[in-house]
């Protein structure tokens, strides 16, 4: 198999391209996050309704992932990812002209559908083009890019909203995304190990059912569901306590809070490497424990400790996601890797939609303390479920494949 070697020019091109693609996808996907409390005030809506600006996008993403899983075997990887990024950027520019929140939510849903063409295909591309012994490192780098993308979107939107308004902020983000999407299209190396073939509905269904009946895979899917759900829940609603008494943070200052998410660029790579050498079930449990610790820190009134708590949340989440996503590609059958990646992301973003939205109900009825305790119960469940994935995949075993 003609794989991309670590340190080669193609490795650098692939890494840079995946970074640009990740910035577009995750900047757009999470850009409304620092605005959720603002939406509540401006449009006189509840936290759960304002949070739909995130959850509807991830619902659209989940629906799109189902379609992509059926078409991925017939469509060339690079073209599909490039089209996804270009359409997403165009819709982001279009959202700048929305003055009714309902229309904005519709566009957010469509953005989610368009975004779906990138994440699962990116995971499949990396699994196909790099050697299995390097996949922890490579996937860790990709996940680091998602952390940078999420940070860029939140910080740009927060600062520009204070300077202008949120519509102008969205337009600028859309134009930046368009430039990055074009660069991705020109720079990403072509697939070497992907062979297009038509897949019948029967074969697609067989692969999907096989993945869903695979014990280790379903445990990893549920783990992704819980991790993403809690992460989005914390970041969606942390703005409510921090932009009100006694902190009263501005949109710019609150947007800069998300700089702590950049610790995820380090933790995802570090824990990805650890997972190549140590039992994944143990390493992911450590990551989730750090995640839970950060969640509890947000209960402490001191602002610096709250910020530290959000940093630990990001550290633990990206570390855990890096391990789980890379693990899926190793456990899945070779002919169903793209479907397995799509299913993982379907559960992953399903967690963002369901758990993230439900956090708004807990916040409304039980306050921030109730939301945090709810989050910790879900994280405890994630440790139990990930342990059921069972067994360790060591470097020596990877080299034998």
Rounded to whole angstroms, the Cα distance separating 306 from 237 reads 13
Give the angle 252-355-65 at the CA atoms, nearest 5°.
95
Domain that holds residue 283: 9-188+200-400
Q: Which of 291, 262, 232, 258 is closest to 145 using CA atoms?
A: 262
Q: Is residue 316 part of a domain?
A: yes
Q: Which of 272, 283, 285, 261 is closest to 379 using CA atoms?
A: 285
- Residue 195 pLDDT: 66
Q: Is residue 193 part of a domain?
A: no
Contact 126, 22 (CB under 8 A): no
Q: Is residue 275 part of a domain?
A: yes
Contact 314, 261 (CB under 8 A): yes
Q: Is residue 2 part of a domain?
A: no
To the question of pTM greater than 0.85 for the whole model, the response is: no
Contact 138, 86 (CB under 8 A): no
- Residue 346 pLDDT: 84
- Residue 375 pLDDT: 97
- Residue 231 pLDDT: 94
The owner of tokens 């519709």 is 106
> What is the number of structural domains in the chain?
1
Q: Is residue 3 part of a domain?
A: no
Q: Which of 351, 367, 254, 313 is closest to 55 using CA atoms?
A: 351
Q: Is residue 330 part of a domain?
A: yes
Rounded to whole angstroms, the Cα distance separating 53 from 237 reads 12
CATH number of the domain to which 71 belongs = 1.20.1250.20
Q: Is residue 294 part of a domain?
A: yes
- Residue 397 pLDDT: 43
- Residue 95 pLDDT: 93
| Phi-psi category of residue 367: left, alpha or beta, with phi > 0 → left and psi -120 to 50 → alpha | left
Q: Is residue 194 part of a domain?
A: no
Q: How many residues does the chain have?
A: 401
- Lookup: tokens for 226: 């819980």
> pLDDT per position in the chain (401 positions), as tens?
677 777 788 888 888 888 899 889 989 998 898 888 888 888 888 888 888 898 899 889 888 887 877 776 667 788 899 999 999 999 999 999 988 899 999 999 999 999 998 987 887 788 788 877 777 677 777 777 777 887 788 788 878 888 888 899 999 999 999 999 999 999 998 887 776 666 666 777 777 777 777 888 999 999 999 999 999 999 889 988 988 888 888 877 887 777 877 787 788 878 877 877 788 888 999 999 999 999 999 999 999 999 999 999 999 998 998 889 888 878 877 666 767 877 888 898 889 888 988 998 899 889 999 999 999 999 999 999 999 886 544 433 444 34
Rounded to whole angstroms, the Cα distance separating 96 from 176 reads 14
- Residue 338 pLDDT: 67
- Residue 214 pLDDT: 82
Contact 189, 8 (CB under 8 A): no
């Amino acid at each position: 198999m003609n794989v991309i070697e670590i340190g080669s020019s193609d490795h650098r091109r692939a890494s840079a391209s995946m970074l640009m693609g990740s910035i577009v996808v995750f900047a757009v996907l999470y850009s409304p996050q620092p605005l959720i409390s603002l939406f509540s005030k401006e449009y006189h809506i509840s936290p759960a309704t304002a949070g739909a600006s995130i959850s509807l996008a991830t619902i659209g993403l989940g629906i799109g992932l189902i379609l992509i899983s059926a078409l991925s075997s017939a469509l060339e990887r690079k073209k599909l990812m490039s089209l996804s990024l270009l359409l997403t950027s165009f819709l982001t520019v279009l959202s700048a002209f929305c003055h009714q929140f309902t229309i904005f939510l519709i566009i957010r849903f469509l953005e989610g559908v368009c975004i779906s063409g990138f994440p699962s295909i990116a995971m499949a591309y990396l699994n196909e083009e790099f050697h299995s012994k390097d996949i922890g490192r490579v996937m860790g780098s990709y996940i680091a890019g998602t952390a940078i993308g999420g940070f860029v979107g939140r910080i740009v939107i927060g600062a520009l909203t204070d300077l202008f308004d949120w519509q102008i902020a969205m337009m600028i983000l859309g134009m930046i995304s368009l430039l990055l999407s074009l660069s991705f299209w020109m720079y990403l190396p072509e697939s070497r190990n992907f062979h297009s073939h038509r897949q019948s509905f029967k074969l697609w269904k067989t692969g999907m059912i096989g993945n869903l009946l695979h014990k280790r895979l379903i445990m990893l899917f549920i783990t992704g569901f819980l991790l993403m759900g809690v992460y989005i829940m914390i970041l969606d609603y942390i703005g409510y306590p921090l932009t009100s008494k006694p902190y009263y943070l501005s949109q710019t200052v609150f947007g800069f809070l998300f700089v702590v998410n950049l610790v995820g660029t380090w933790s995802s790579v570090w824990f990805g490497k650890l997972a190549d050498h140590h039992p994944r079930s143990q390493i992911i449990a450590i990551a989730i424990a750090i995640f839970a610790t950060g969640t509890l820190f947000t209960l402490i009134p001191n602002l610096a400790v709250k910020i530290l708590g959000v940093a630990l949340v990001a550290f633990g989440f990206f570390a855990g996601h890096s391990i789980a996503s890379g693990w899926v590609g190793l456990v899945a059958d070779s002919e169903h890797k793209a479907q397995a990646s799509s299913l993982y992301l379907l559960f992953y973003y399903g967690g963002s939609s369901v758990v993230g939205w439900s956090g708004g109900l807990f916040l409304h009825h039980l306050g921030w303390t109730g939301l945090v305790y709810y989050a910790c119960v879900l994280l405890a469940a994630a440790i139990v479920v990930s342990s059921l994935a069972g067994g360790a995949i060591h470097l020596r075993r990877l080299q034998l494949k």
